[in-house]
Amino acid sequence: MFKFNFEVNDSDSSDNTESPFKKPKVEQKTNSDSENDEKILWYEAEQIKPTKAILKSLDLYELNARELTFENVELRHLIAGFLLEDIKRHSDVDSQDIKKSEESHSDLIAGVYEGGAKIWECTDDLLKYLLQNYEKKHWENKVVLDLGCGSGLLGIYALKCGAKVDFQDYNKDVLEKITIPNVLLNLNETLTDDEKIDQLQKKSNFYAGDWSHFAKLTENFEKYDIILTSETIYNVKNQQKLLDTFRKQLKSDGIVLLAAKSHYFGVGGGLEQFVEFLKCGKDFRSTYLWQADENLKRGIIELKLQ
Protein backbone atom coordinates (compact mmCIF):
# COMPACT_ATOMS: atom_id res chain seq x y z
CA MET A 1 0.00 0.00 0.00
CA PHE A 2 1.37 3.42 -0.85
CA LYS A 3 0.38 6.97 -0.08
CA PHE A 4 1.19 10.20 -1.85
CA ASN A 5 0.27 13.83 -1.61
CA PHE A 6 0.86 16.92 -3.68
CA GLU A 7 -0.37 20.46 -3.99
CA VAL A 8 -1.51 22.16 -7.17
CA ASN A 9 -1.14 25.91 -7.12
CA ASP A 10 -3.74 28.12 -8.72
CA SER A 11 -1.04 29.45 -10.99
CA ASP A 12 -0.74 25.97 -12.50
CA SER A 13 -4.27 25.97 -13.88
CA SER A 14 -3.19 27.08 -17.34
CA ASP A 15 -0.41 24.50 -17.52
CA ASN A 16 -0.50 22.18 -20.52
CA THR A 17 0.79 19.27 -18.44
CA GLU A 18 -1.54 17.11 -16.39
CA SER A 19 -0.28 16.58 -12.83
CA PRO A 20 0.61 12.94 -12.19
CA PHE A 21 -2.01 11.06 -10.14
CA LYS A 22 -4.88 13.36 -11.13
CA LYS A 23 -7.64 11.81 -13.21
CA PRO A 24 -6.42 12.76 -16.71
CA LYS A 25 -8.26 14.46 -19.48
CA VAL A 26 -8.72 12.46 -22.66
CA GLU A 27 -6.01 14.15 -24.71
CA GLN A 28 -4.80 12.64 -27.94
CA LYS A 29 -1.66 12.99 -29.95
CA THR A 30 -2.47 14.22 -33.42
CA ASN A 31 -0.24 14.49 -36.44
CA SER A 32 -0.22 17.76 -38.37
CA ASP A 33 1.77 16.28 -41.26
CA SER A 34 -0.74 15.54 -44.03
CA GLU A 35 1.95 14.16 -46.31
CA ASN A 36 2.33 10.93 -44.35
CA ASP A 37 3.43 8.96 -47.38
CA GLU A 38 6.44 11.16 -48.08
CA LYS A 39 9.81 9.84 -47.02
CA ILE A 40 10.66 11.18 -43.57
CA LEU A 41 14.26 11.97 -42.69
CA TRP A 42 14.52 10.93 -39.05
CA TYR A 43 17.13 12.54 -36.80
CA GLU A 44 20.39 10.67 -36.34
CA ALA A 45 21.12 9.54 -32.79
CA GLU A 46 23.58 11.38 -30.58
CA GLN A 47 24.57 11.36 -26.94
CA ILE A 48 23.73 14.59 -25.10
CA LYS A 49 26.22 15.64 -22.46
CA PRO A 50 24.93 17.73 -19.53
CA THR A 51 26.89 20.95 -19.13
CA LYS A 52 27.28 23.46 -16.34
CA ALA A 53 25.44 26.05 -18.44
CA ILE A 54 22.14 24.44 -17.55
CA LEU A 55 22.85 24.96 -13.85
CA LYS A 56 22.58 28.73 -14.35
CA SER A 57 18.82 28.36 -14.70
CA LEU A 58 18.39 25.96 -11.79
CA ASP A 59 17.13 28.64 -9.38
CA LEU A 60 14.45 29.60 -11.89
CA TYR A 61 13.56 25.94 -12.35
CA GLU A 62 13.24 25.56 -8.57
CA LEU A 63 10.59 28.30 -8.58
CA ASN A 64 8.64 26.69 -11.41
CA ALA A 65 8.51 23.07 -10.34
CA ARG A 66 5.84 20.73 -9.05
CA GLU A 67 6.55 18.37 -6.18
CA LEU A 68 5.14 14.87 -5.75
CA THR A 69 5.65 13.04 -2.47
CA PHE A 70 4.86 9.41 -1.78
CA GLU A 71 6.27 6.92 0.67
CA ASN A 72 9.91 7.99 1.06
CA VAL A 73 10.46 9.08 -2.54
CA GLU A 74 9.94 12.66 -3.70
CA LEU A 75 9.71 13.63 -7.37
CA ARG A 76 9.99 17.13 -8.78
CA HIS A 77 9.34 18.26 -12.33
CA LEU A 78 9.13 21.51 -14.24
CA ILE A 79 5.76 23.01 -15.06
CA ALA A 80 5.49 22.52 -18.80
CA GLY A 81 3.40 25.65 -19.31
CA PHE A 82 6.20 27.78 -17.90
CA LEU A 83 8.79 26.15 -20.15
CA LEU A 84 6.70 26.32 -23.30
CA GLU A 85 5.86 29.98 -22.81
CA ASP A 86 9.54 30.76 -22.20
CA ILE A 87 10.54 28.88 -25.36
CA LYS A 88 7.92 30.68 -27.45
CA ARG A 89 9.15 34.05 -26.19
CA HIS A 90 12.77 33.42 -27.03
CA SER A 91 14.32 32.51 -30.36
CA ASP A 92 16.60 29.80 -29.00
CA VAL A 93 18.28 27.84 -31.76
CA ASP A 94 18.52 24.85 -29.42
CA SER A 95 14.75 24.58 -28.94
CA GLN A 96 13.43 25.08 -32.46
CA ASP A 97 11.60 21.74 -32.60
CA ILE A 98 9.50 22.51 -29.53
CA LYS A 99 8.93 26.04 -30.83
CA LYS A 100 7.69 24.71 -34.19
CA SER A 101 5.29 22.41 -32.38
CA GLU A 102 3.86 25.22 -30.29
CA GLU A 103 3.54 27.56 -33.26
CA SER A 104 1.74 24.91 -35.31
CA HIS A 105 -0.42 23.83 -32.34
CA SER A 106 0.52 20.21 -32.97
CA ASP A 107 1.86 17.53 -30.66
CA LEU A 108 3.38 15.63 -33.57
CA ILE A 109 5.32 16.81 -36.59
CA ALA A 110 6.63 13.76 -38.42
CA GLY A 111 10.41 13.65 -38.36
CA VAL A 112 10.60 16.94 -36.41
CA TYR A 113 8.84 16.66 -33.07
CA GLU A 114 7.33 13.75 -31.13
CA GLY A 115 5.36 15.25 -28.24
CA GLY A 116 8.06 15.12 -25.55
CA ALA A 117 7.23 18.44 -23.87
CA LYS A 118 4.03 17.13 -22.28
CA ILE A 119 3.35 14.52 -19.64
CA TRP A 120 0.84 12.19 -21.24
CA GLU A 121 -1.85 10.24 -19.40
CA CYS A 122 -0.23 6.82 -19.61
CA THR A 123 2.95 8.07 -17.97
CA ASP A 124 0.81 8.70 -14.89
CA ASP A 125 -0.64 5.20 -15.21
CA LEU A 126 2.75 3.50 -15.41
CA LEU A 127 4.22 5.56 -12.58
CA LYS A 128 1.31 4.61 -10.32
CA TYR A 129 1.71 0.97 -11.34
CA LEU A 130 5.41 1.03 -10.41
CA LEU A 131 4.59 2.57 -7.02
CA GLN A 132 1.99 -0.07 -6.27
CA ASN A 133 3.83 -3.14 -7.52
CA TYR A 134 7.57 -2.65 -7.04
CA GLU A 135 9.35 -2.08 -3.75
CA LYS A 136 12.10 0.50 -3.71
CA LYS A 137 14.78 -2.18 -3.24
CA HIS A 138 13.71 -3.79 -6.54
CA TRP A 139 15.46 -0.99 -8.44
CA GLU A 140 18.80 -1.18 -6.65
CA ASN A 141 21.66 -1.96 -9.06
CA LYS A 142 19.26 -2.29 -12.00
CA VAL A 143 20.17 -0.78 -15.38
CA VAL A 144 17.08 0.98 -16.73
CA LEU A 145 16.16 2.74 -19.97
CA ASP A 146 13.41 5.38 -20.08
CA LEU A 147 12.63 5.18 -23.81
CA GLY A 148 10.78 8.13 -25.33
CA CYS A 149 11.29 9.73 -21.94
CA GLY A 150 9.93 13.26 -22.42
CA SER A 151 9.80 14.70 -18.90
CA GLY A 152 11.71 11.66 -17.61
CA LEU A 153 9.46 11.00 -14.60
CA LEU A 154 9.57 7.21 -15.00
CA GLY A 155 13.35 7.15 -15.20
CA ILE A 156 13.75 9.69 -12.40
CA TYR A 157 11.66 7.49 -10.12
CA ALA A 158 13.88 4.48 -10.88
CA LEU A 159 16.99 6.65 -10.45
CA LYS A 160 15.88 7.84 -7.02
CA CYS A 161 15.22 4.23 -6.02
CA GLY A 162 18.82 3.23 -6.75
CA ALA A 163 18.92 2.29 -10.44
CA LYS A 164 21.32 3.47 -13.11
CA VAL A 165 19.07 5.10 -15.71
CA ASP A 166 19.56 6.18 -19.30
CA PHE A 167 17.09 8.59 -20.89
CA GLN A 168 16.20 8.62 -24.60
CA ASP A 169 13.95 11.02 -26.48
CA TYR A 170 13.61 11.80 -30.15
CA ASN A 171 14.25 15.53 -29.67
CA LYS A 172 17.53 16.91 -28.43
CA ASP A 173 15.84 20.07 -27.17
CA VAL A 174 13.39 18.04 -25.05
CA LEU A 175 16.36 16.42 -23.31
CA GLU A 176 18.20 19.70 -22.84
CA LYS A 177 15.23 21.88 -21.89
CA ILE A 178 13.05 19.43 -19.96
CA THR A 179 14.54 16.00 -19.13
CA ILE A 180 17.96 17.05 -17.84
CA PRO A 181 16.56 19.98 -15.80
CA ASN A 182 14.04 17.57 -14.24
CA VAL A 183 16.80 15.13 -13.31
CA LEU A 184 18.80 18.00 -11.80
CA LEU A 185 15.79 19.08 -9.74
CA ASN A 186 15.79 15.63 -8.16
CA LEU A 187 19.45 15.53 -7.14
CA ASN A 188 20.55 16.22 -3.58
CA GLU A 189 20.36 19.97 -3.10
CA THR A 190 23.52 19.97 -0.96
CA LEU A 191 25.70 18.88 -3.90
CA THR A 192 27.96 21.44 -5.56
CA ASP A 193 27.57 22.17 -9.26
CA ASP A 194 30.56 19.99 -10.06
CA GLU A 195 29.15 17.17 -7.97
CA LYS A 196 25.76 17.40 -9.70
CA ILE A 197 27.31 17.14 -13.15
CA ASP A 198 29.55 14.32 -11.95
CA GLN A 199 26.58 12.40 -10.55
CA LEU A 200 24.62 12.90 -13.77
CA GLN A 201 27.48 11.49 -15.81
CA LYS A 202 27.99 8.51 -13.50
CA LYS A 203 24.36 7.49 -13.05
CA SER A 204 22.77 8.45 -16.38
CA ASN A 205 23.25 8.91 -20.10
CA PHE A 206 21.04 10.97 -22.39
CA TYR A 207 20.39 10.07 -26.02
CA ALA A 208 18.50 11.93 -28.74
CA GLY A 209 17.38 10.75 -32.17
CA ASP A 210 15.49 8.06 -33.98
CA TRP A 211 15.17 4.63 -32.34
CA SER A 212 16.90 2.70 -35.11
CA HIS A 213 19.86 5.09 -35.00
CA PHE A 214 19.90 4.96 -31.19
CA ALA A 215 20.03 1.14 -31.23
CA LYS A 216 22.97 1.25 -33.62
CA LEU A 217 24.80 3.94 -31.62
CA THR A 218 24.56 1.90 -28.41
CA GLU A 219 24.75 -1.65 -29.81
CA ASN A 220 27.97 -2.44 -27.93
CA PHE A 221 26.90 -0.81 -24.66
CA GLU A 222 25.53 -2.53 -21.56
CA LYS A 223 22.02 -3.91 -22.03
CA TYR A 224 19.07 -3.04 -19.81
CA ASP A 225 17.31 -4.97 -17.06
CA ILE A 226 14.16 -2.90 -17.49
CA ILE A 227 12.91 -0.68 -20.30
CA LEU A 228 10.14 1.75 -19.34
CA THR A 229 8.15 3.37 -22.14
CA SER A 230 4.86 5.26 -22.34
CA GLU A 231 2.78 6.55 -25.26
CA THR A 232 5.30 5.36 -27.86
CA ILE A 233 3.19 3.06 -30.07
CA TYR A 234 0.86 5.63 -31.67
CA ASN A 235 2.64 5.55 -35.05
CA VAL A 236 2.11 2.12 -36.64
CA LYS A 237 4.96 2.73 -39.08
CA ASN A 238 7.41 3.07 -36.19
CA GLN A 239 6.33 0.02 -34.21
CA GLN A 240 8.81 -2.37 -35.82
CA LYS A 241 11.63 0.06 -35.04
CA LEU A 242 10.42 0.11 -31.44
CA LEU A 243 10.41 -3.68 -31.20
CA ASP A 244 13.84 -3.89 -32.83
CA THR A 245 15.12 -1.44 -30.24
CA PHE A 246 13.65 -3.52 -27.40
CA ARG A 247 15.24 -6.66 -28.81
CA LYS A 248 18.67 -5.08 -29.22
CA GLN A 249 18.71 -3.21 -25.90
CA LEU A 250 17.13 -5.70 -23.49
CA LYS A 251 19.02 -8.29 -21.45
CA SER A 252 17.92 -11.87 -22.11
CA ASP A 253 16.04 -11.96 -18.79
CA GLY A 254 14.96 -8.32 -18.90
CA ILE A 255 11.45 -6.87 -19.15
CA VAL A 256 9.75 -4.04 -20.98
CA LEU A 257 6.91 -2.21 -19.22
CA LEU A 258 4.83 -0.38 -21.81
CA ALA A 259 1.84 1.90 -21.17
CA ALA A 260 -0.46 3.13 -23.93
CA LYS A 261 -4.00 3.98 -24.95
CA SER A 262 -6.19 1.44 -26.72
CA HIS A 263 -6.45 3.73 -29.72
CA TYR A 264 -4.86 6.97 -30.89
CA PHE A 265 -7.37 8.89 -32.96
CA GLY A 266 -5.94 10.51 -36.05
CA VAL A 267 -2.69 8.55 -35.86
CA GLY A 268 -3.65 4.89 -36.18
CA GLY A 269 -1.83 2.91 -33.52
CA GLY A 270 -3.10 1.62 -30.21
CA LEU A 271 -2.48 -1.00 -27.53
CA GLU A 272 -4.85 -3.65 -28.86
CA GLN A 273 -3.44 -3.28 -32.37
CA PHE A 274 0.12 -3.40 -30.98
CA VAL A 275 -0.53 -6.63 -29.06
CA GLU A 276 -1.84 -8.23 -32.26
CA PHE A 277 1.25 -6.96 -34.08
CA LEU A 278 3.44 -8.61 -31.42
CA LYS A 279 1.76 -11.94 -32.09
CA CYS A 280 2.92 -11.79 -35.71
CA GLY A 281 6.55 -11.89 -34.62
CA LYS A 282 8.65 -14.38 -32.69
CA ASP A 283 10.72 -12.11 -30.46
CA PHE A 284 8.37 -11.22 -27.60
CA ARG A 285 5.55 -12.53 -25.51
CA SER A 286 3.27 -10.00 -23.84
CA THR A 287 1.10 -9.99 -20.73
CA TYR A 288 -1.54 -7.46 -19.76
CA LEU A 289 -0.74 -6.07 -16.31
CA TRP A 290 -3.39 -3.37 -15.93
CA GLN A 291 -6.32 -1.89 -17.82
CA ALA A 292 -8.59 1.12 -17.29
CA ASP A 293 -11.97 1.64 -18.91
CA GLU A 294 -12.84 5.17 -17.83
CA ASN A 295 -12.74 7.85 -20.52
CA LEU A 296 -10.54 6.30 -23.20
CA LYS A 297 -9.32 2.77 -22.52
CA ARG A 298 -5.69 2.54 -21.46
CA GLY A 299 -3.43 -0.29 -20.39
CA ILE A 300 0.00 -1.53 -19.34
CA ILE A 301 1.68 -4.61 -20.76
CA GLU A 302 4.86 -6.49 -19.93
CA LEU A 303 7.09 -7.79 -22.72
CA LYS A 304 9.69 -10.52 -22.37
CA LEU A 305 11.99 -12.06 -24.93
CA GLN A 306 10.92 -15.52 -26.10
- The domain containing residue 214 runs over which residues? 46-305
Does residue 15 sit within a domain?
no
CA–CA separation, 66 vs 195, rounded Å? 24
Report the predicted TM-score, pTM, of the whole model to 2 decimal places.
Answer: 0.82
- Please provide the size of the chain in residues: 306
* Predicted local confidence at residue 60, as pLDDT: 83
CA–CA separation, 249 vs 144, rounded Å? 10
Does residue 78 sit within a domain?
yes
- Total domains in the chain come to 1
* Predicted local confidence at residue 4, as pLDDT: 32
* Predicted local confidence at residue 89, as pLDDT: 64
* Predicted local confidence at residue 25, as pLDDT: 38
Does residue 73 sit within a domain?
yes
Does residue 67 sit within a domain?
yes
Exposed, middle or buried by CB within 10 Å (0-12, 13-18, 19+), for 28?
middle
CA–CA separation, 63 vs 195, rounded Å? 22
* Predicted local confidence at residue 15, as pLDDT: 41
For residues 186 and 75, the answer to whether their CB atoms sit within 8 Å is yes
**Angle between helix 153-160 and 121-133 (nearest 10):** 20
Per-residue pLDDT of the chain (306 residues; tens, 9 = 90+): 333 333 333 333 334 334 444 443 334 444 444 344 457 788 899 999 988 888 888 888 888 899 987 677 889 998 766 666 666 665 555 556 656 555 555 555 555 545 555 787 899 999 999 999 999 999 999 999 999 999 999 999 999 999 999 999 998 988 988 899 999 999 988 999 899 999 998 999 999 999 999 999 999 999 999 999 999 998 899 999 999 999 999 999 999 999 999 988 877 889 999 999 999 999 999 999 999 977 679 999 999 999
- Over its C-alpha atoms, the chain yields an Rg (Å, rounded) of 18
Q: What is the CATH number of the domain that holds 181?
A: 3.40.50.150
* Predicted local confidence at residue 109, as pLDDT: 52
Does residue 5 sit within a domain?
no
Does residue 34 sit within a domain?
no
- What is the helix (H) or strand (E) element at residue 262, kind and residue range? none
* Predicted local confidence at residue 156, as pLDDT: 97
Does residue 33 sit within a domain?
no
Does residue 54 sit within a domain?
yes
* Predicted local confidence at residue 20, as pLDDT: 44
